[in-house]
Structure 1
């Protein structure tokens, strides 16, 4: 058993929320570590096959500042990122979303460089096995293939996306029943596409008829065929497979992955036949991550609701904002249920506070929210915004020598406003 140094903050999970939290905390002077089960930062943004950040803008203007703006601008300036505004969703052309398209391989490099330069200690291929929150500190046990060791910190952040830290600490969580879990996707990437011809087709309004043809042939299993050109390349990411199963049950999830992967080659042949510019396309990669949209959520000091988003409730302790619509991938009908929201909504700090804990925040999509609100806020730019704000607030708590549940709304807003403005 090895024992590591004491940290101010340990972040469990190096997805986009966890990474931005760690960078913000480390830049603020906290000794920070990230425990990540994969060998890269960025989580789903870099490993699921996704190549666009939905709702990265609002009304055809970039929405976010701070680290997000810094990262997005670096992608754009390098030729590997592009804003696309008011883009129709393939499952419903009436729903339009501002997006940032990007190359996930370049994003991996950017996130890692920023974390390392900020002084974050990264533990790849490692996972949490035990955790304890004490009165004066927190203690965790971590393992990889070769060793098990203990770590201590003043504070912990659950950025696992599925409340793994909270469950390990013994906290209660909410899991969606299997039959109601959002449909999952295994994305893939194709190469050798004539991007100009593809864009002309996507702008022509003909995609819905192609989707209907795919459904009638039973090549497509749902009403979606999202084709996203990757900036700086002739590659396109494809979001089209559909599978259902309990993501926490190994046997069930494995069957779902196999089912989704078996759909890829028939879909590719259909794309080559039906989509201009893709006639010579080849399969270049299949995502190593299964795109699970659902996840456990915590019991928090405040549960965010769809009403809050519809009313654009301006919370006194707001820490993040977003504008993505409610997006439920229904497992019964294999359709996407949309509810467009009226503008920019907010997420309160209290939704990050797990009931019964004092030195821990939840900063991923497993924060406290009802199912409908979850279906809107779960997208990456919003969670990145949550993560960055949390990173700064860990610094505030350290300065005050207090627990995370002792911060009040006034000081939260004042502290964040000195670092960035989100509206």
Structure 2
């Protein structure tokens, strides 16, 4: 090796072995990646899924409810393969119904550990080749066409060649390394802060909900009326700002303005969504490490706050932290179309719609502990063109890193829309291979027909070409 500057070295050229050639390669085993792999494998294509952790599920495994299966008018707008996963989870008592929520439109509670098992079962039944413990470390390109992905693992660097590649990494890892133009954060480069979820046991959730229902002036919640808690045994609670302020005045360090709690499926369990670490770059290991350390440091005072100030937590005890930080935002690709705030708020129809979403603009401020929410009143479409990157062929992107603005991303980032995007991406990849065309050149009308035939929901009516 030869030193070129003080801060770099030159790595010698070397041959990298090809581990496998596959039809469809999916990078990332989170909500969108699971659906993409299942959809692509449906009629016998060889599909490989690469996941850096030891399990699939991504943010489905960190204690969050799934948001967005229902629209703002109460109708179910995410169906198809995502619903099949919920049905499988229900069969083992690991999922709730889709529950209407005045704040989040809907929430679907799932058991994180069960997701890991059930989703993997579905993938193996579909004959998807799942490879754990491997990272995307680079790409193989010929001109502007992506041919494969370089992975890094305990076995060293290897190549996975594929006819079509789907980037479900959440961070646009493949797209970024392939040279797709990407954006990061807002106009100042600020991103929504991540959260390290944690779970408490021994919580009297009945006391919690009845206290909110019967004493709303004391336990005021954001946007969610007190009657909601009188009618629902399982719920999300957001608010109690006055209690947070009182605890801060009493000397506790709390980095968010609101109490955010999610009841678990198991009796007495509550997941807590209150750690916030501003300034974390989810694509940098040093910054992520800082986020993990700081997030764990924040748990002590949050737990003390809940036990001392919030009804039902008097006998609560610590159970577990999530296996990793919940990242809300990193890179976003520049695609053939960039979704905007106006698309969300105007409930825009698109001629090439491949999914329907209804979750509001939900921006956790890059600085401070505040949050901004805005609802559009109904649903909006996600266009196929936002999944197709500029400048690089043979690549589809699904999940929160599709082509959007910072504000629009805050709406489409939750898990139900990401799963719907994943299903569409998988079916598009399969179609591109079967028809011998680039993903950008498939007949989107045929894709829409297949999505509907397989149970996905797409809106009828006049669409506009944007």
What TM-score bracket applies, with the shorter chain setting the length? Answer: over 0.9
Higher mean alpha-carbon deviation, 152-161 vs 24-33, is at 24-33
Q: Please, which of 303, 328, 335 is the counterpart of residue 338 of structure 2?
A: 303
Distance (whole Å) between structure 1 residues aligned to residue 351 and residue 249 of structure 2: 50
Larger Rg: 2
Determine the structure 2 residue equivalent to 1:19.
34
Match of 2:245 among 212, 223, 227: 212
Task: Deviation per CA, 1:262-281: give whole Å up to 9, x if none.
Answer: 11011112111222222211
C-alpha separation between the residues in 2 aligned to 1:340 and 1:19?
Answer: 28
Question: Which secondary structure state, in structure 2, belongs to the residue aligned with residue 413 of structure 1?
Answer: helix
Distance in structure 2 (CA, Å) of the matches to 1:14 and 1:281: 33
State how far apart, in whole Å, the 2-side matches of 1:146 and 1:405 are. 34
Matched, 1:416 2:429: no
Name 1:285's counterpart in structure 2. Answer: 320
Alignment of 1:198-347 (within 5 A): 198-204=208-214, 205=216, 206-207=219-220, 208=240, 209-217=242-250, 218-247=252-281, 248-347=283-382
Distance in 2 of aligned mates of 1:167 and 1:411 = 29
Instruction: Decide which of 170, 173, 176 is 2:182's aligned counterpart.
Output: 173
- SS of the residue corresponding to residue 62 of structure 1 reads coil
1:45 aligns with 2:60: yes
Q: 1:276 to 1:2 in 2, by over 3 A?
A: same
User: Which of these residues, 150, 153, 159, is aligned with residue 162 of structure 2?
Assistant: 153
How has the CA–CA distance of structure 1 residues 84 and 404 changed in structure 2, closer, same or farther, with 3 Å as cutoff?
closer
TM-score (norm 1): 0.92
Query: Cα deviation per residue 1:388-412 (whole Å; 9 max; x = unaligned)?
Result: 1111111111221111111133333
Instruction: Map Cα deviations across residues 326-353 of structure 1 (whole Å, 9 max, x no partner).
Output: 0111133421011111211110000001
3-state SS in 1 of match to 2:97: strand
State the secondary structure of the residue aligned to 1:57: coil
- Indicate the SS of the match to 1:220: coil
Question: Would the aligned equivalents of 2:32 and 2:423 in 1 still touch at CA under 8 Å?
Answer: yes
RMSD in angstroms over aligned alpha carbons? 2.0
- Counterpart of 2:418 (choices 383, 404, 416) is 383
CA distance in 1, matches of 2:150, 2:306: 47
Aligned residue number for residue 68 of structure 1: 82
Larger deviation, residues 375-384 vs 79-88: 79-88
Distance 1:99 1:171, change over 3 A: same
Aligned residues: 415
Distance 1:325 1:45, change over 3 A: same
Partner of 1:193: 203
Aligned to 1:87: 101
Q: Which residue is equivalent to 2:133? A: 125
* Contact persistence 1:51–1:103 (CA under 8 A): no
- Pairwise mapping of residues 5-16 of structure 1 onto structure 2 (< 5 A)? 5-16=20-31
* Cα distance change, pair 215–11 in 1 and its aligned pair in 2 (3 A): same
Post-superposition Cα deviations, 1:160-219, rounded to whole Å, max 9, x if no partner, equal: 111110121122211126762112211111112223223323544315233333343443
**8 Å CA contact 1:198, 1:275 repeated in 2:** yes
Judging changes above 3 Å, is the alpha-carbon distance between structure 1 residues 215 and 344 closer, same or farther for their aligned structure 2 residues?
farther
Q: CA deviation at 1:290?
A: 1.2
TM-score under structure 2 normalisation? 0.84
Q: Distance in 2 between matches of 1:96 and 1:10?
A: 33
CA deviation map 1:61-97 (0-9, x unaligned): 4332111111112323432222363435xxxxxx352
